[in-house]
Structure 1
């Protein structure tokens, strides 16, 4: 009997040790709202035969500006759903003086590649964020705009994307979303360093609006001139506002800058010239009083965005 008990105890110890030794997922492991994770999503890249080398950029596109080139776009009637305050995890900052200017013509590029999108939060309320086209059928945004963050969090639902929204006007209609993506560094750990996401659209409106290219490097961006445009909560509903500044600090997975932002502008592109049109360097997400920060497009994030657009 004693030997049997010892054997059982030994087996339990081995099982416990094995379970404890299971490797943690890399924080950049992709995850989708339909339950796929890791290689289940990455297999898409093999199917589409996208080169997997160390590309540093993808090209942007100004689009045609012709709505007839977009497939699957829905006409918009009225002003859309009533929304409450945007989903913000940290106060975003105006670095006085406020240098934001309104984009009064959102049918020009790159303004038309910026999107206002609404969604239903897990508590049933409707909110919004900013995003940006980075392919004909894909939008990049902040992780906290698609998932509430951390263990026990939940996916937002009922996404509706309005490219180039300008108050009550939706010059390019709206698009639905087939899949929302983020990474486990956000969905499991709510780490600000992994606060990025994408929405796969049910349309190809990017052929009309154009899109931003992507750029990554391990080097510093300090002093790089950057711009951003989004949909702030302190201005007229669903109006787009532009700001520009320079990168003030470069971190491994974040960029700091003095772009003026408030709630609602989370998810906007932090971009510079290049990539044929403009290169997105980061996804705006946070404020720290005397500066704002975005999730840097690292090589891993770049590869995820590449997969998510297919």
Structure 2
């Protein structure tokens, strides 16, 4: 047995030396088949390797999912494990090897298990759009790059479970397109009230569309942070930055979703109950670049005693936005400048701007921090976009993501229970 182990180590060292000397990819099948027992599972050891542009936490995870060619170290490209140099604390504190078995590796069809990441349970960092110093009120409407290459080849998704398991969908890695970036001095997206505050509090959350809108909490002991809307039996739509902090490159950990939450007698009321988050999915492109046109995410919820959240509460449809947004479109969410747990609507908005050539929409609905992820919806309860950001104090516009066919198809592919109009 000792001789066999020494032989395995010798063969592996020879193969690794080829990579070190010549920079060539490693052919792992012959040696890994002796070293890894895929039926038993893979340890949580962190020795990163790169296979087909995907960083795996270790060689075993790649081999047991059919990857035969790889190189030592992380991929040069940005991906979900780029800055994850060691095990998350909950694995370190286990005091033993944690094995990842076949059920975890094959949990999501079309996704590859790459490792485990640490999760941040603090409130999401909400960033402000950076603009030139001489930006004018309407100049931002014409500052969108329309020369981007086709986005359809750059639609990889990335998924994280409530325990930190990270999955990516295979596909093309991405482009270096010019993008609208998020930036800010203090890290808080200053979604704002424009002129006179026209927001209206919702006191009856038992009817559509308000019962399908809820507040997202980030721990059992905190309240609020983002807004979400139900678009499937188990699917809640929100903003990408509500699940991933692109500035600090760390994963947020939304904990629960409370549809129709309101406040009465100085207490927060969840009239329909609370649903816990199972996993979240967003665009890999958003985590790589912070492109606000891809600032979208879906939270998949666990069932509770009432069943699935969408079956119990009802849900929105999702649809492609029109070039000229309907004047009756509105936004409803949970703003941070109002009493905790209160739902407010901005409808109708004073102005909309969407030129149909980009995935960005500009609006003059009154918003505030906490509105991030709020649905932009029509009077027929079709969500056609998501509110995501504001601009500097000199700009009288807020912004969001407008749904086109690319976004609608992506959202549908991230869930198995979508409703589309």
Same fold (TM over 0.5): yes
Report what 1:4 is aligned to.
Answer: none
Given the alignment, which residue of 162, 168, 184 partners 2:258?
Answer: 162
Q: What's the CA shift string for 1:224-280, capped at 9, x where partnerless?
A: 431111000111101000111165211501111111100001100001134xxx111
Distance, in Å, in 1 between the alignment partners of 2:226 and 2:76 is 39
Given the alignment, which residue of 10, 20, 30 partners 2:157?
Answer: 30
Q: What's the CA shift string for 1:145-195, capped at 9, x where partnerless?
A: 111115x61212251110111121101110111111111121111121111
Report what 1:148 is aligned to.
Answer: 245
Corresponding pairs, count = 249
Q: Tell me: CA distance 1:36–1:125, structure 2 relative to 1, closer, same or farther (3 Å).
A: same
Shift of 1:205: 1.8
Distance, in Å, in 2 between the alignment partners of 1:298 and 1:261 is 23
Matches within 5 A, 1:76-225: 89-120=188-219, 128-149=225-246, 153-157=249-253, 159-167=255-263, 168-203=268-303, 204-216=308-320, 220-222=323-325, 224-225=327-328
Residue 237 of structure 2 contacts residue 297 of structure 2 at CA under 8 Å; is this kept in 1? yes
Distance, in Å, in 1 between the alignment partners of 2:312 and 2:230 is 11
Q: Tell me: CA distance 1:158–1:134, structure 2 relative to 1, closer, same or farther (3 Å).
A: closer
Shift of 1:27: 4.7
Residue 215 of structure 2 contacts residue 224 of structure 2 at CA under 8 Å; is this kept in 1? no
Q: What's the CA shift string for 1:119-147, capped at 9, x where partnerless?
A: 15xxx987521000001211000011111
Distance, in Å, in 2 between the alignment partners of 1:222 and 1:142 is 20
Greater strand fraction, Structure 1 or Structure 2: 1
Report what 1:59 is aligned to.
Answer: none
- Structure 2 spans left out of the alignment, 5+ residues: 1-18, 26-51, 54-74, 80-150, 172-185, 417-421
Matches within 5 A, 1:37-52: 37-39=168-170
Residue 115 of structure 1 contacts residue 131 of structure 1 at CA under 8 Å; is this kept in 2? yes
Q: Secondary structure at the match of 1:307?
A: helix
Report what 2:13 is aligned to.
Answer: none
Q: Tell me: CA distance 1:160–1:304, structure 2 relative to 1, closer, same or farther (3 Å).
A: same
Distance, in Å, in 2 between the alignment partners of 1:38 and 1:247 is 38
Report what 1:285 is aligned to.
Answer: 388
Q: What's the CA shift string for 1:181-221, capped at 9, x where partnerless?
A: 1111211111211111010011212123211111115x512
Alignment of 1:249 onto 2:353: yes
Q: Tell me: CA distance 1:21–1:266, structure 2 relative to 1, closer, same or farther (3 Å).
A: closer
- Structure 1 spans left out of the alignment, 5+ residues: 1-7, 41-86
Given the alignment, which residue of 373, 393, 396 partners 1:267?
Answer: 373
Q: Tell me: CA distance 1:27–1:98, structure 2 relative to 1, closer, same or farther (3 Å).
A: farther
Coordinate RMSD, CA, aligned: 3.4
Q: Secondary structure at the match of 2:167?
A: coil
Shift of 1:300: 2.1
Runs of 4+ more than 6 Å apart: 18-22
Distance, in Å, in 2 between the alignment partners of 1:308 and 1:89 is 28
Residue 28 of structure 1 contacts residue 194 of structure 1 at CA under 8 Å; is this kept in 2? no
